[in-house]
Every structure is written in C-alpha cells, then in structure tokens.
Amino acid sequence: MRKLIWGTAVVVVLGIIAAVIFTPKSNPTDFDYASLPVLGKTDAPVKIVEFGDYKCPSCQYFSQQVKPQLEKEYIDTGKAAMYFMDFPFIGPDSTTAALAAHAVFHQSNDAFWKYYDLLYKNQPDEKTLWATTDYLVQLAKDNKLDVDYDKMKTDIDKQTYIKEIDKGESTAHKANVQSTPTLFINGKEYTGDFSNYGQLKEAVEKALAAGKAE
C-alpha cells in the first residue's frame, strides 16, 4: 500500500511538471516598432505600445493624467519608450484625426507627439463631429507646429497614410484589442486598470526586472 501511495504521488508530481513544461505560453505581440511614432529612446529596455483613438474620452484621460507620469518616471529616464498605434473604431472622426496625425508624424516624430497632445487637449464631446481637414490643419497652425501645413492638408485629403492606419487596426484585431486605450508592455497586453498609475507602474517594473534577469 505504501509503495502504491508513493508511486501515485510520483506520477502526480511528474504530471504537474509535464503540464508546466508543455503548456503553451502566450506569445508576445510582434510590433514593427521602427515604423511607429516613438516617445523616448528606441533602445529603452521597456517598450510600451498604446492602441488609441483620438475621439476616445478615455484616451484623453490617459494622455493627460497617466502619460505625463510615465514620461517623468520612465521615458525621460531612458527606462521605457512609448509607441502609438491607431485603433480608430468610434467613427469617421477617428480615422480623419489619425490621418492628420500620420501626416504630421511623417514630417516629424517630435511634432507628432505635440500634435498627439493637442488632439486630446482640444477633443470635443464624443458625439460631436469635428475632425475636418480644415480644423485639423488649423490646430497645427494655431499651435505653430513645425510642419508643412500644405503638405499636411494634402496628405489628409488624399488619405496618404490610410494603409498604415488600416495596419494598426488589423494588428489590434489580431491582438484581440477590445477597447482604447489598450497598452502592451514588451509585447504583452497590460490587463490592469490603465487609469491606476500604481498598477501600471508595477507592470513596468516587472518588465524592467524581467529584462535584467535575461
């Protein structure tokens, strides 16, 4: 009886070990970081990707309340870099604003992040239609964004970068993104509360520690 018990125990332990070893692990999402707007150093050990929609009120909150804390503690210190991908799902304004942001990005990465902040700072009510070409270009002019405004207008009207926006949306669907903002940290979706900086900080710290351990 004793041998039977021990034998059973060994089988159970081996089964647990096998389950741990052979259970498939969720693979990180593979981002083409080099093609995305980046805030911070490209060689930062932690890469944070935000899927966002310029018409989304929650994204506005993230840009104004959470992103500045990330910048101060992690991005400005070289520990993390932040990237942006479009998930324009709310309405036509979402896509038009994304076209404007891409038009700016392809002239200047630094100007993109200034424009990113401006779009959210000046975001009207979600039910209001506002993202016209004239409005989006005038916003850049009024804030003296260092870009070619005529080229920006042409790129919006001709939808020059619509394929990049479609790629962002496709990537979001493949990664099972359900809402904005959704964050990925080193390719893995952050499932905590994006508005809780303490939780987000803990996730970034874990990513930093994991990088040092490798």
End-to-end CA distance of the chain: 46
Residue 26 pLDDT grade (very low, low, confident, very high; cuts 50, 70, 90): low
Would you call 91 exposed, middle or buried from its count of C-beta atoms within 10 A (0-12, 13-18, 19+)? Answer: middle
Averaged pLDDT, 146-171: 98
pLDDT at 212: 81
Q: What is the CATH number of domain 39-213?
A: 3.40.30.10
Which alpha helices (DSSP H) does the chain contain, by range?
2-22, 57-61, 67-70, 92-105, 109-121, 133-142, 149-157, 162-174, 197-213
What residue spans define the domains of the chain? Answer: 39-213
C-alpha 157, offset from chain centre: 26
Q: What is the pLDDT of residues 92-151, one digit of tens each?
A: 999 999 999 999 999 999 999 999 999 999 999 999 999 999 999 999 999 999 999 999
Question: For 43-62, what is each residue's pLDDT tens digit?
Answer: 999 999 999 999 999 999 99
Q: Is the peptide bond before 88 cis (omega within 30 degrees of 0)?
A: no
Beta carbons within 10 angstroms of residue 183's beta carbon: 24
Average pLDDT over residues 192-206: 96
Angle at 75 between CA 33 and CA 177, to 5 degrees: 50
pTM: 0.86
What are 166-176's pLDDT values in tens digits?
999 999 999 99
Question: Average model confidence (pLDDT) for the chain?
Answer: 90
